[in-house]
Structure 1
Amino acid sequence: MNQERSLSLIRPSYSALNALSRAFDSGLILVSLYISMNYYGIPISQDYLLSGIGCIILFGIFSEYNDIYQGWRGEPIFDKAVRILVSWMAAFMLIFISIFLFGNPYSYLHAENSIELFLLLVPALIILTHTIRRLVLAFLRRHGLNSRTYAILGANHLGKRLETAISQMPWLGYNFKGYYDDRTHTANRRLDLNRIDEPDRRPPNSNNLKFQAVGKFTELLQDAQLGKIDHVYITLPLCAEKRVSDMISKLADSTVSVNIVPDFFTFNLIQSKWSNVQGIPVVSVFDTPFTAFDGLLKRIEDLLLCAIILPLISLPMLIIAIGIKLTSSGPVIFKQTRYGINGENIAVLKFRTMAVCENGDNIKQATFNDSRVTPFGAFLRKTSLDELPQFFNVLQGQMSVVGPRPHAVAHNEHYRKRIQGYMLRHKVKPGITGQAQISGFRGETDTLDKMEARIHHDLEYIKQWSLWLDIKIIFITIFKGFSGNQAY
């Protein structure tokens, strides 16, 4: 029995609570269907009922993908509301498309108002109930009901990062006991957040923050055996495997829940994900953000943008083609081999801007007043209009509208030997515009530092990818154009 807090009910597991929340949300969808139909006097036929059940199933799938029922997510309620809304709209649209393609859409024509009310009522009720649930849990746990006490074994940056994350989720009802650590401060041990080594691994706003261990492991074990601690989180380094194993064995002589927090932040993670292979936990270090649903979402984004943009640029492309023919001899379109996703060769299309077409092992980047560039080609390169044919690459699935710009094969082979992680930019499809380009890193990269800066932005894009980031990059490209004065 925990002696430092008031008596409480038996603690329900989060899996049980979340299962109840899933079931309740499913019920809300059916209730919303009933209200929407009855409000306008529409009888609930078998077609409507099957559509409602389909919405429940698909909403459950998208909710699982978007971690709506994950209790450890510490985002603001607004962010969770957005994920609920996105999951519901995706489920509703799939049902709508399925009815249009395979069902009888005419049976729904007289129920437009009911369908619109159903579309709006479901996310409103689900968001409302999730908000109320969080507020009620936070209130109860602030008053000692179902609260828990936890300690961190490992007074280091990872421990502080964990403590900061948990403190941002007060509705969990976790009370921090303190840090425990046997280690003494040496050059190789990070026991003081005020040290300047590895600043990128510190939690936010920790530059002037110090903390000390409240005790050693023997005291942690004693507190655990006395019931003063409910959960222990071990944040010791990966190299301390033997010591961690010994500590876990000793903690088995208590009823405390033990959790290991591996310090994967020592690696340069890119789209890292947990997976389970027949009970064996696996962590990906380098991965693509475009797997499963996100890959489909990215492809839909590209196709929609092509459907909008290609008709708009068809006349300008025709005028550009005529201009190229009138100002220089040679083909209008220039094909150059570039690396696509996973390093596969693709033929990237561009309007020809040079008097010569280079596509060999040694390709010189265009420079200021480059004699190879035609006068009309210089205008196209400066305005990036020479890239317009690449929308056909996007249509074919070889490129994306937004992504790292494709480099010549010769440049890829040159820089992959000089810049660590260079080839990771090929974990996604190359793009027509990208984060590096709107940040001013386009055109000639005549120094290694410039290329490193471009690659940094490319990898940050892959790490931070979201649909909203793509939209932001597209809008900046439209209204501000590409930044930088190095496009020759």
Structure 2
Amino acid sequence: MNAGTGRYSKYIRPISIIFDLLVLSFLCLFFFKELNLNSLYYLAYQTLVWAIIAFSIQFYGIYRFTTPVEIASKILKQGMLFLLVIIAFFPFSKTVLFSGKAIAYFMVSSFILITIFKFLLFYYLKKYRVVTGSNYRSAIIIGYTPESIRLKQLFETRIDYGYRFLGFFSDKKSNSFIKGKLENVKSFVLDNGVNEIYCSLNEINNEQIKDLVDFADENRKTIKFIPDTKEIFSKNLKIDYYEMFPVLSLQKTTLHDPITKAFKRVFDICFSLIVIFGLLSWLIPLLAILIKLESRGPIFFKQGRPGIDEKEFFCYKFRSMKINKTTEMEASKNDPRVTKIGRFIRKTSIDEMPQFMNVLLGEMSVVGPRPHLWSQNKIYGNRINKYMMRHYVKPGITGLAQVRGFRGEIETDEDMINRIKYDVFYIENWSLILDIKIIIQTVFNIFKGEEKAY
């Protein structure tokens, strides 16, 4: 990553969320101490409803181009809805005393602190970008039109937005401002660490749009569109305003939302703890004896795999093979490396159970795209469309592709293509219900047995 380019951006929302929850928790304990509340239950209720409301109104959806009026509007909406659900808590408990005065003090003091912090953070980041030139995002514009020139001028005049404009690209115009043609965009983006690509829809056709969207997906770049009268065929489009200038962008998936990620993380922790204490606590000693009796070597097998953002982590399994030097070669049918106990635990997927430790450590999720071998990433990363999208999220112990039968050995490119299709569908269409369905189907498949589980 280029020096100074968004190094701290990923921490801004978590810091804001943690600050808000700490303020609410501390002040409710202070102002409600005389109301005979069960503090644990009330804090759980308060945190849950805060998260639900924040998710519904996108309370933490504040960006570098968001206006102060929009921030104030979000705070007002959050405050009004939160007040209603806090008041609604009291009639359900006969022992709790209702105090309008205590609630008023709690709400006013909480939202004064939250508002001050949110605006201070917002204005501090703007000032930080102007003074230091840090936390910027580099951008290019495809198309040389009056609209794209206006956007370039906006980047240059509103330094507090934190954009560094690197140039125009156009097939229709040629002058000193234009860096190259459309065919030069991809190499320029990769060579210069471009973060955002803006496209004027006057100069590109539908095929070029599709190609650029695929390129942005594969290389984790943000793509946005400068709208005009041309009809746009795309799902997930949303409109933002930089002052009065409209731009269209492809919305990130639900799994990119901080509240959704936090909710999924809590689910992962709870589920993995149940499995670790309820199952692995007695399964590990039993399998340790059986594995050691059959072959020499460790009980667990660990292997480096690409995780979220293609960062390496060590994936743990029960050892199901004899010690060998071909660990980057996936197992095949009747593989001579697999031990007798190994065939059983692989057939029932028991060998994957230690990965609940990876889940607890935050390296994996219970449900998500399965982590591939590094060798598979190198082979298929540039060969299969949207392959790299699977690194947008944490890898999973089980996934949609696996319960649909696309697991095990990759014999043809078609096997991997089908697996990627299901992985991408899962990322773009995530829901808690889908996770639960996949978990239930995985358990069913374990007892039924799967043809490619070897």
TM-score, normalised to structure 2, is 0.51
Contact 1:62 1:91 in 2 (8 A): no
Contact 1:59 1:91 in 2 (8 A): yes
Q: Is 1:66 the equivalent of 2:47?
A: no
For 2:103, the equivalent position in structure 1 comes to: none
**TM-aligned CA distance change 1:451 to 1:329, over 3 Å:** same
Q: Which has the larger radius of gyration?
A: 1
For 2:285, the equivalent position in structure 1 comes to: 318
Secondary structure at the counterpart of residue 305 of structure 2: strand
Aligned residues: 272
Q: CA RMSD in A?
A: 4.4
Q: Which AA in structure 2 matches 1:354?
A: M
For 1:456, the equivalent position in structure 2 comes to: 421
Q: What is the distance in 2 between the residues matched to 1:365 and 1:352?
A: 14
Matched ranges for 1:243-322 at <5 A: 265-266=233-234, 281=247, 283-284=249-250, 289-313=255-279, 314-322=281-289
Which of 432, 439, 452 matches 1:467? 432
For 2:300, the equivalent position in structure 1 comes to: 333
1 or 2 for the larger relative contact order (CA 8 Å, sep ≥6)?
2
Q: What is the distance in 2 between the residues matched to 1:312 and 1:306?
A: 10
TM-superposed deviation, 1:442: 1.0
**TM-aligned CA distance change 1:312 to 1:445, over 3 Å:** same
Q: What is the distance in 2 between the residues matched to 1:390 and 1:64?
A: 32
TM-superposed deviation, 1:416: 0.9
Q: Which AA in structure 2 matches 1:318?
A: P
Q: What is the distance in 1 between the residues matched to 2:50 and 2:277?
A: 38
For 1:112, the equivalent position in structure 2 comes to: 93
For 2:359, the equivalent position in structure 1 comes to: 394
Q: Is 1:342 the equivalent of 2:332?
A: no
Q: What is the distance in 2 between the residues matched to 1:293 and 1:447?
A: 39
**TM-aligned CA distance change 1:346 to 1:282, over 3 Å:** farther
Q: What is the distance in 2 between the residues matched to 1:323 and 1:354?
A: 13
Matched ranges for 1:138-287 at <5 A: 238-239=201-202, 265-266=233-234, 281=247, 283-284=249-250
Contact 1:290 1:298 in 2 (8 A): no
**TM-aligned CA distance change 1:398 to 1:375, over 3 Å:** same
**TM-aligned CA distance change 1:372 to 1:57, over 3 Å:** closer
- 1:143-197 CA distance string (max 9 Å, x none): xxxxxxxxxxxxxxxxxxxxxxxxxxxxxxxxxxxxxxxxxxxxxxxxxxxxxxx
Q: What is the distance in 1 between the residues matched to 2:45 and 2:400?
A: 36
Q: Which AA in structure 1 matches 2:429?
A: Q
Q: Which AA in structure 2 matches 1:443?
A: G
Q: Is 1:413 the equivalent of 2:403?
A: no
- 1:421-461 CA distance string (max 9 Å, x none): 10101101000011111111111111110111011111100
**TM-aligned CA distance change 1:239 to 1:300, over 3 Å:** same
Q: What is the distance in 2 between the residues matched to 1:341 and 1:299?
A: 14
Q: What is the distance in 2 between the residues matched to 1:56 and 1:327?
A: 54
**TM-aligned CA distance change 1:276 to 1:343, over 3 Å:** farther
Residue ranges of structure 1 left out of the alignment (5+ in a row)? 1-43, 70-86, 100-107, 116-236, 242-258
Q: What is the distance in 1 between the residues matched to 2:239 and 2:267?
A: 26
**TM-aligned CA distance change 1:385 to 1:66, over 3 Å:** same
Q: What is the distance in 1 between the residues matched to 2:428 and 2:294?
A: 43
TM-superposed deviation, 1:46: 7.2
Q: What is the distance in 1 between the residues matched to 2:47 and 2:300?
A: 48
TM-superposed deviation, 1:307: 1.9
TM-superposed deviation, 1:62: 3.2
- 1:35-86 CA distance string (max 9 Å, x none): xxxxxxxxx997489x99x9899857733532599xxxxxxxxxxxxxxxxx
TM-superposed deviation, 1:238: 4.0
Secondary structure at the counterpart of residue 303 of structure 2: strand
Q: What is the distance in 1 between the residues matched to 2:319 and 2:418?
A: 28
Residue ranges of structure 2 left out of the alignment (5+ in a row)? 1-31, 60-77, 97-199, 205-226
Q: What is the distance in 2 between the residues matched to 1:375 and 1:400?
A: 29
Q: What is the distance in 2 between the residues matched to 1:468 and 1:398?
A: 22
Q: What is the distance in 2 between the residues matched to 1:376 and 1:411?
A: 27
**TM-aligned CA distance change 1:384 to 1:263, over 3 Å:** farther
**TM-aligned CA distance change 1:378 to 1:305, over 3 Å:** same
Contact 2:202 2:230 in 1 (8 A): no
Q: What is the distance in 2 between the residues matched to 1:307 and 1:399?
A: 14
**TM-aligned CA distance change 1:264 to 1:405, over 3 Å:** farther
Secondary structure at the counterpart of residue 359 of structure 2: helix
Q: What is the distance in 2 between the residues matched to 1:91 and 1:327?
A: 60
TM-superposed deviation, 1:469: 1.0
**TM-aligned CA distance change 1:409 to 1:296, over 3 Å:** same
Contact 2:400 2:422 in 1 (8 A): yes
Q: What is the distance in 1 between the residues matched to 2:323 and 2:237?
A: 43
Identity, % of aligned pairs?
Answer: 38
Q: Which AA in structure 2 matches 1:448?
A: D
Q: Is 1:487 the equivalent of 2:441?
A: no
Q: What is the distance in 2 between the residues matched to 1:323 and 1:468?
A: 37
TM-superposed deviation, 1:282: 5.0
Q: Which AA in structure 2 matches 1:367?
A: S
TM-superposed deviation, 1:347: 0.5
Contact 2:399 2:423 in 1 (8 A): yes
Contact 1:394 1:401 in 2 (8 A): yes
**TM-aligned CA distance change 1:112 to 1:455, over 3 Å:** same
**TM-aligned CA distance change 1:428 to 1:91, over 3 Å:** farther
Contact 2:53 2:82 in 1 (8 A): no
Q: What is the distance in 1 between the residues matched to 2:300 and 2:345?
A: 13
Q: Which AA in structure 1 matches 2:376?
A: H
**TM-aligned CA distance change 1:58 to 1:402, over 3 Å:** closer
